[in-house]
Amino acid sequence: MARRRLTDRQKTRIAQIQEQRRERAARAAESLSEQVTEEAEVRQGQVVVRHGRNLVVAAADGSLRHCLFRANLGEVVCGDRVAWQATGESEGVVVALLPRRTVLSRPDYAGRDKPLAANLSCMAIVLAPRPEPSGFLLDQYLVAAELGGLQALIALNKSDLLDETSRPFFARLLGPYRTIGYPVVEVSAKRDHGLDPLIERLRGETSILVGQSGVGKSSLVNSLLPDQAAQVGRLSGATGLGRHTTSAATLYELPTGGQLIDSPGVRSFRVGRISRSELEQGFREFRPYIGHCAFRNCAHDNEPDCAVREAVSAGAVAPARLETFHRLAKSLADQDR
């Protein structure tokens, strides 16, 4: 069904309502800030979940605090490290956003980069025999991981459904990714110890699972977090915000070690506004050949003496990956126009 177009009047009304909400939230944050005394200790914590101007912050001692944050801090997201001060027994105000090691973003409907989660170290891209995987979407995730400084791995879920037809197909599809260094693990919640390969990869990491609809990402999250309901209950009991974790990115502690950020915002994905040179860097196997083409601004298309296309001919770069690069480069050019 086509999305209903909003009239200019409706758009203006929505913008006014959103601005009013932002103003109310800002006033609430400033009011709370006034309760902070000069003697109040500045502490560090990690954002577990955000809903509007409300945050759940995990303090260093493991306790949870309901915090507001000041508007001048910008976008605060799940996984952020923050400095906060107490304003009550279980409440506080965030006064500073600490430097991020990594940030995962995607463009919003206006084309602006919108941070989704911070301080991730690992992206697990989930595929399955059904629905048939999209190599184009897989490559977009990998570009985002490369540019964001995240380790990436490919998790083939529902591997118990592989048969004599689909197994060779996936071997051909995933072979080039193995060759260029991306780990590929097969997992199945229906087999004894079927999740062990993924659990080992996520141990000690702050990870996020991404993938197209239907690949079983939610089931994997439920299996990896057998105590998820208890963790949500603890959030709700401490702050009253736990009910929002079904619609907001939320950080959970993995019982096997590490952290998992579950975010509904990465079910679909698009690469944001990046330059062509940044896009090139997102394809790790291109890097040895970048700068060695005959033309400085080579598009790796029909130009003579193109080092990247020569690498394709030599078998060092998969043709499908170069095709994805061209599709993404065209999309970036269309955005600029």
Q: What are the chain's domains? A: 103-266 (3.40.50.300), 276-336 (1.10.40.50)
* pLDDT of 51 over the 50 cut: yes
Helices (H), 58-148: 135-148
Residue of 104 and 26 predicted with greater confidence: 104
* pLDDT of 49 over the 50 cut: yes
pLDDT in tens, 242-257: 666 667 889 999 999 9
* pLDDT, position 237: 79
Q: How many CA atoms lie within 13 A of 189 on its CB side?
A: 14
- DSSP calls for 196-263: HHHHHHHTTSEEEEE--TTS-HHHHHHHH-TTHHHHHHHHHHHHS-GGGGGTS-EEEE-TTSSEEEE-
Instruction: Please give the mean pLDDT across all residues of the chain.
Output: 86
Peptide bond into 319 cis (omega under 30): no
Residue of 213 and 40 predicted with greater confidence: 213
Q: Using alpha carbons, select from 118, 117, 121, 109 the residue that is nearest to residue 272.
A: 109
* pLDDT, position 266: 64
* pLDDT, position 3: 45
Q: Using alpha carbons, select from 224, 220, 196 the residue that is nearest to residue 127.
A: 220
pLDDT in tens, 94-119: 999 999 999 998 777 666 778 889 99
pLDDT in tens, 83-99: 999 998 889 999 999 99
* pLDDT, position 1: 41
End-to-end CA distance of the chain: 28
Residue of 169 and 40 predicted with greater confidence: 169
Q: How many CB atoms lie within 10 A of CB 113?
A: 14
Helices (H), the chain: 8-33, 135-148, 166-179, 196-202, 217-224, 228-239, 276-281, 307-313, 319-336
* pLDDT, position 335: 72
- The tokens for 168 are 């060779």
Percent of the chain with pLDDT over 90: 60
CA 38 to chain centre: 37
* pLDDT, position 72: 87
Q: How many CB atoms lie within 10 A of CB 79?
A: 28
* pLDDT of 227 over the 60 cut: yes
pLDDT in tens, 289-306: 999 999 999 999 999 999
* pLDDT, position 128: 94
* pLDDT, position 271: 76
d(CA 238, CA 130): 40
* pLDDT, position 263: 86
* pLDDT, position 2: 46
Q: What is the mean pLDDT of residues 52-72?
A: 90
* pLDDT, position 243: 63
Q: Give Cβ neighbours of residue 248 (< 8 Å, ≥ 6 apart).
A: 49, 50, 51, 78, 264
Lowest mean pLDDT among 7-11, 47-51, 69-73: 7-11
**pTM for this entry:** 0.84
Secondary structure class of 71 (helix, strand, coil): helix
